[in-house]
Amino acid sequence: MIIQPPIPSAYLDEAPEVLIQKIMAHKEAFGDKLLILGHHYQEEGTFQCADMVGDSLKLARQAAEAKAARFIIFCGVHFMAESADILAGSDQAVFLPHLEAGCPMADMATLPEVSAAWQELTPILAMKETIPITYVNSSADIKAFVGERGGSVCTSSNAERVLAWALERGERIFFFPDEHLGRNSAKALDIDDKAIVLWQRGLPLGGNNVEQIKAAKVLLWDGFCEVHMEFSAEQIEQWQRTVPDIQVIIHPESNLASVQAADKYGSTEGIINAVESSAPGSTWAIGTEVNLVNRLKLQHPDKTIHLLAPTPCRCKTMALVTPAALLWQLDNLSQGKMENQVTVEVTIAKGAKIALDRMLAI
Ligand code: SF4
């Protein structure tokens, strides 16, 4: 894990409104040389300082289009800053205000683990017919691994399309790192349960025998998002029993039973669009990160919006990017210090970009 240099206590002790005022003063001084990106799961204080908000890929692409920006601060997690660096120009530098803000799910598929699994499969399968697909929530070296082997990145909004594309090109898919997005997308494509095989890290052949591996259309890495694993079909059924007109929408990083019990499922942007386009007076229970759900509540006072789970499901690493961390980052930058810059090594960036570009072309 990357260790974050300690943020001086003066920042941590500062009143929230003072932090925001100072951040805004920096934004004014840097002008269009600075671009602050805010992921939907960020806390309100950090989110309100962002110039652009969105999901990870939308933000990375917007950053690349903001040619005047020399300094891009990504208020999100590490793989997002990496994607922004891969797509950014050589004259743009990308920063993450807290280096320990990684994505635990992305960290569940490391390059040594994935390479070892690929090697293990090589004597059993025609690997040219095995198309690797990685969720955008993955490290740059996993994206490069996939890009170099004819595969693609996918997002939670296009995973089904990317899986269908891969099955036209090969016999089977090896999908990293999120089991649940992979399974939900495979089920949406009507792939038989027996052809969806889980690869469990640390077990020989991922806990399968040779016949099971050969029968697989989709091999799923056993990664998961701890936030979206908090939701269950029982919670959904409870809402549906007690509030008859409620609509339940859930993120596809949740387990299959929850996705099947919900009225709808969708990516972060998909959830936002569904709520925005619903009729005034609609009632929703939403299964995703609490900061987004609370923001939707504030933005849509004409609708009734509930958290799906009884306790708020919060992404602990996103929560490290506080206004204090952002101000510390900006103070450093204004003194010419390039602390917390995220750079992707050139050959890795090249391979990862192939996988990202393939997705954009699908
Ligand atoms: S919400 Fe889940 S997938 Fe998103 S950054 Fe946090 S752990 Fe990773």
> Same CATH topology for 9-101+317-344 and 106-225?
yes
| pLDDT tens per residue, range 118-163 | 999 999 998 999 999 999 999 999 999 999 999 999 999 999 999 9
Q: How far apart are CA 308 and CA 39, in angstroms?
A: 21
Give which of 212, 215, 3, 199 is closest to 113, Cα–Cα.
Answer: 199
Strand-pair category, 71-75 with 34-39: parallel
User: Which of 42, 105, 221 for mutating ligand 1's site (highest number of atoms within 8 Å of CB)?
Assistant: 105
User: Which residue's CA lies nearest to atom 3 of ligand 1?
Assistant: 225
pLDDT at residue 57, as a whole number: 82
For residue 25, how far is its CA from the centre of ligand 1 (angstroms)? Answer: 31
Please give the CATH number for the structural domain made up of 106-225.
Answer: 3.40.50.10800
Q: How far apart are CA 119 and CA 174, in angstroms?
A: 13
User: Which residue's CA lies nearest to atom 6 of ligand 1?
Assistant: 315
User: Which of 317, 320, 321 for mutating ligand 1's site (highest number of atoms within 8 Å of CB)?
Assistant: 317
Residues with CB under 6 A from ligand 1: 41, 77, 103-105, 137, 225-227, 289, 315, 317-318
**186: number of Cβ within 10 Å:** 24
Which atom of ligand 1 sits closest to the CA of residue 289? 1
Give which of 319, 336, 331 is closest to 100, Cα–Cα.
Answer: 319
Q: What is the mean pLDDT of the chain?
A: 96
For residue 317, how far is its CA from the centre of ligand 1 (angstroms)? Answer: 8
| pLDDT tens per residue, range 81-114 | 999 999 999 999 999 999 999 999 999 999 999 9
Please give the CATH number for the structural domain made up of 9-101+317-344.
Answer: 3.40.50.10800
CA distances from 218 to 66, 69, 191, 215, 319 (A): 38, 41, 8, 9, 33
Q: Where are the domains of the chain?
A: 9-101+317-344, 106-225, 228-307
Helix ranges restricted to H, the chain: 9-12, 16-30, 44-47, 56-65, 78-87, 111-121, 140-147, 159-169, 179-188, 210-215, 233-242, 256-261, 268-276, 290-299, 323-334, 346-361
Q: Hey, which CATH number is domain 228-307, 1.10.3730.10, 3.90.1300.10, 3.40.50.150, 3.40.50.10800?
A: 3.40.50.10800
